[in-house]
Amino acid sequence: MGKISRPGVRRTFCRKISCSACCSVMNLYSDKESVSVIPLGLDEIKHYMTDLLEIEGLIHQRMGPRYSVEQWNEENFCRRLTAKHECSWGILGSDSNCVRAFLIGSRPSPDLQHIHRIATHPDFTRRGYSSMLLEQALTQWMLHESTRMITAIVNVQNLASIFMFRKSGFEILKGEALNHYLTEKSAVHPSISHDGFEDVHGIRYVVLFRRKADEFYR
């Protein structure tokens, strides 16, 4: 199913899609390779579904539960989440017009934005794509006046992701604030500690967050 050329993998070519809301092209590297950050609304998600499923499958195969206990399928990517079209982005390579990385987010309540997924194709790691997508999510969050808090739930063993979030100003939600957050999500967890929780599979997570106002989720 590979759409990005690799040894021993048949290459299929992506169709182009017009996107008036596409962000400006950014030059990232010394060789002036350029990529573009595009919003992933439902139409774009369907168009680039093969790319998204490939990245999801490869990352899940490589990282397992450190990435997620569930490998998303087409239904997961197309699930209608509140404001998902405003909170999700992908990175396209100018050479193939294929998605190299993606971030899926939503706004489950007016004052909360949540990041569900960040993933980069293994052929394009260590290029700053995930950090670029996270900064795009933070920019959107700052522009949305009523959204006071942005969160992500990360496996405690996924140290690279935790480091990336912490570098972008996220903190680990703890104590009563953590209990309040999980209660509002209507989540049922077998074990909640001071600075994280354990799910039904026995896997531990932390909730990472940034907020705009000190009075929110004290």
Chain segment 96-153, per-residue pLDDT in tens: 789 999 999 999 999 999 999 999 999 999 999 999 999 999 999 999 988 999 999 9
pLDDT (0 to 100) of residue 186: 64
Q: What is the pLDDT of residue 187?
A: 57
Asked if pLDDT for residue 14 goes beyond 50, the answer is no
Fold annotation for 27-211: Aminopeptidase (3.40.630)
Over residues 153-191, the pLDDT tens digits come to 999 999 999 999 999 999 999 999 998 898 877 656 668
Decide if 11 contacts 5 (C-beta within 8 A). Answer: yes
What is the reported pLDDT for 172? Answer: 98
15-62 pLDDT per residue, tens: 333 332 333 334 343 344 689 999 999 999 999 999 999 999 999 999
At residue 90, the pLDDT reads: 98
Q: For position 185, what pLDDT does the model report? A: 76
Cα angle vertex 13, ends 85, 117, to 5°? 30
Domain ranges of the chain: 27-211
What residues are paired with 46 via a beta bridge?
none
Element (H, E) at 43: helix 42-47
| 3-class DSSP string for 98-129 | CEEEEEEEEEEECCEEEEEEEEECHHHCCCCH
| Rounded average pLDDT over 197-204 | 91
